[in-house]
Each structure stands twice: as structure tokens, then as C-alpha cells.
Structure 1
Amino acid sequence: MTLMAERPTMSSTEPPSFEDLLNDLDRLDVLDGYKAEIIRGNIVMSPWSQGYYLDVMDLVCDQLRPHLPEGHRITYGPFLYVFPGAERAYGPDIQVVDRQASRTTSNRLDGEALSFVAELTSSATRDDDLTDKVETYAKAGVPVYLILDMQEEKATVLWEPSAEGYQARCSKPFGEKLDIPAPFNCALDTTGFHRPAQD
């Protein structure tokens, strides 16, 4: 389920600026169990992930941590990365970022400081994870974008970012190893990424 935050009625027909949307996002009282991002000129709220996604995020972080670029950290959590050129602001599920980017009191972190992002798709976010975010991360120069398609149980890594998008990609079904390119140069074992049996 995706909710669009209502904006105040404006007397002009001009859409709100990206800065206005960021300010609205700062003031937004996000519903419990939701996160908010700016996608295609809208504030979009989507529900937090299912419980087993946490195990998958831990597995990714544990495997990549020994291969991080110097001065970078890997984490997951509700951090907002801003891409002013694309007028987007995302909260990636997993991120590897230069530690300098977090040395601020602002809640708006620099998207260009990212060296890796991973998104775990849900029915609410899948379309944006596979389209809008691919374009934005590539144009911002994020070296590696990992899409964990939780509905199709498939991992796709994209790299070699450019203004036209990512120039290289590789996909593997969950359960296989996927090579994560430079600056990581390691294999990600996707064993354990499958959806568990229903409760």
C-alpha cells in the first residue's frame, strides 16, 4: 500500500519546489509502521518491511562489511539521502556511505556520498525500486545498486553508472552467489533470502 501525503491547497498552479517538499517531509507526522520518501514530485509513504527482511539485511551487511571502501560504513535504517539534481529523496533499505556524510546535524544526507545501495522490494515499492531509483542512483553516480526482488526471489546487481543509467547488470535467483563489483569485489551468497513458510 502506498499513501500519498496531502499537500496544502495553493493559490497558484505551480507545483511545490523540491525544497518545499523536503520541508513538508520534515514536518510530516509519519504514521507508525511507515517510511516517507520523495518520488517523482510527491511525498510517498510506504509500510515498513516484513520481519524476515531484517534477516536478509543482516546477511547482506555481514557479507559486505569486510569489503567496504576505506572510510565507509554499511548500515540500514531510516536515513534520508537527497538527490537535488533529480529532485528525489530516498531512504534505502541498506546503504554504504562515506562516514563524512553523517557528520552533520541535518537529517538530509548527501546521496552522492553513497557507494552502494540495496533495496528489498515490496508490493508497495517494487515499481519505484525497479525504475525511478535505478535512474536516480545511476545519474548520481552510486557505483553499485543491488535490487533484492522479494516477490520474484531474485537478486540483481547494477554497476557502471552513467547519465544514461547503469551500463552493466547481472541477476541470479535466491540461493545462488552473485558477484558484487568494485569497489567491493566480493561474492554475495543469497542463501537464506527466501521467504519463510507462512506463520
Structure 2
Amino acid sequence: MCTTPDAPRRSQMRPEEFEELARLAFRALEGLQLEFLGGRLGVKPRSGGNHGCVIEWLVRSCFQARPELWLHSHGLRMRGTDGGRVHPDGTLAPAEAFVGQGEWVDADRVLMVVEVTDADVDADRRDRVEKPRAYAEAGIPVYLLIDRDSAEIIVHSQPDGVRYETVHTLPFGKAVRLPDPVGISLDTEPLKNWVR
């Protein structure tokens, strides 16, 4: 195909096209979620097994400490250069924050996002490199990474619009205080049961 210098070329999928693809794939690829970040399509397995135990532990911990907040499972529309779409393992926000918004919600009411590592190499890059950047660009106050490979909990906070200025890493078994606006303390001892 020949193009003239002033003819527009489309090199990336639009976020709206991705949402439609994800909706169709959800039906066809049960057990998988699609993400669109950095202009690339990613596939994320749904949680189960030990990964699911970690999420259930976190749901209970958050609800006991702050019952007005829920750990939601919606997909997020990201602000930033590519308008990505991600499916965090958990999204902490007020209980009614996403009423009527559907599967993909705006990140403006999110207090914390959570990712739990899996054996997938692609997910590893996304959880440790791409998502912290995207979450910081979106202004999400806290990003909690539960790293089952290294048996560590990594708390990212103080987003400056490009990155998180503060990152604390603690081994499983230590108590961790999630900074405001989350303000929840977690006993991470149970996480030792769900490493790889």
C-alpha cells in the first residue's frame, strides 16, 4: 500500500477498539483477561489457586480495617500517553465508587491498586516496570505489588505523575502499614503459605 507523506497512518489500536476486543475475548477465552498497556496487548490469567488465596486474604484484611472501602475487580482506563486498559488484581476504592460505570472504570477514585505476581514472564515485566509507571501517571496514591517470586511485598506511594517517589520493600512475615489515603496495616505472615 502506498501512502502520501500527508496521509495519516494508524499504527496502534485505539482504546475503544481494545475494549471491544476484550469483551469478545472474555467470552471466547474463559479464564483470561486482556490488557492494553504501552500500545501492546497483554494476556493475564484470572486468579486461582495460591494467587486467589492472596487476593482473598487482602479482601478480608482491607474490609476488616476499612469496611467503607471495597477491593473491586474492575478494569481501569488509564490516563497517560496511550490511554491503556488494565485489569489489576485488586482496586481499592470507596464501596460505591464505580456504580453504573460498567467493566472499565476511570482511575480517579482509586486509592490503591494491587498486583500479585504470576509465573508469566510478560506479566512480570508489566507488574514491575510498566504498571508502576502507568499507575503513577494516573495519580493512583498507592500501588501494592505482592511478589510471590521473591516473597516480598512492595509498596509504591507518592506518585509524581511519572513515577512513584517512595518504594518500600519488606519480606513476607513483616507487618506493613499502607500509607494514606489507604491507612491500613497488614500482617503479611499468611503470605508465606502462598509463594510458588
TM-score of Structure 1 vs Structure 2, range by shorter chain: 0.7 to 0.9
CA apart distance, 1:76: 4.6
Q: Which residue of 2 aligns with 1:3?
A: none
Report the aligned-residue RMSD. 2.3
Call closer, same or farther: CA 1:66–1:196 in 2, change over 3 Å: closer
Q: What secondary structure, in the 3-state scheme, does the structure 1 residue paired with 2:131 have?
A: helix
Q: Which residue of 1 aligns with 2:133?
A: 135
One-letter code aligned to 2:35? E
| Matching residue within 46, 63, 66 for 1:65 | 63
User: Once the two structures are aligned, what percentage of the paired residues are identical?
Assistant: 21
Call closer, same or farther: CA 1:23–1:172 in 2, change over 3 Å: same
One-letter code aligned to 2:77? V
One-letter code aligned to 2:75? L
One-letter code aligned to 2:76? Y
| Matching residue within 1, 4, 18 for 1:21 | 18
Separation (CA, whole Å) in 2 of partners of 1:191 and 1:109: 32
| Matching residue within 165, 168, 171 for 1:170 | 168
Q: Which residue of 2 aligns with 1:4?
A: none
One-letter code aligned to 1:172? L
> C-alpha deviations, 1:12-44, integer Å up to 9, x for none?
653222222222223334412212111222332
Separation (CA, whole Å) in 1 of partners of 2:178 and 2:194: 25
**Pairwise mapping of residues 44-55 of structure 1 onto structure 2 (< 5 A)?**
44-55=42-53
> Larger % of helix: which?
2
Q: 5+ unaligned residues in a row in structure 2: which ranges?
A: 1-8
Separation (CA, whole Å) in 1 of partners of 2:44 and 2:52: 17
Indicate conservation of the 8 Å contact 1:74/1:94, yes or no: no
CA apart distance, 1:195: 4.5
One-letter code aligned to 1:113? R
Separation (CA, whole Å) in 2 of partners of 1:105 and 1:185: 26
Q: Which residue of 1 aligns with 2:77?
A: 82
| Matching residue within 99, 106, 113 for 2:102 | 106
| Matching residue within 163, 178, 181 for 2:179 | 181
Which sits farther off after the overlay, 153-162 or 58-67? Answer: 58-67
Q: TM-score, normalised by structure 1?
A: 0.81
Call closer, same or farther: CA 1:96–1:30 in 2, change over 3 Å: farther
Q: 5+ unaligned residues in a row in structure 1: which ranges?
A: 1-11
Separation (CA, whole Å) in 1 of partners of 2:166 and 2:101: 36
Indicate conservation of the 8 Å contact 2:149/2:195, yes or no: no
Indicate conservation of the 8 Å contact 2:148/2:194, yes or no: no
Separation (CA, whole Å) in 1 of partners of 2:97 and 2:130: 23
Separation (CA, whole Å) in 2 of partners of 1:47 and 1:195: 21
Separation (CA, whole Å) in 2 of partners of 1:197 and 1:179: 21
Separation (CA, whole Å) in 2 of partners of 1:177 and 1:137: 24
Separation (CA, whole Å) in 1 of partners of 2:195 and 2:62: 27
Indicate conservation of the 8 Å contact 1:83/1:112, yes or no: no
Q: TM-score, normalised by structure 2?
A: 0.82
Separation (CA, whole Å) in 2 of partners of 1:13 and 1:105: 29
Indicate conservation of the 8 Å contact 1:41/1:88, yes or no: yes
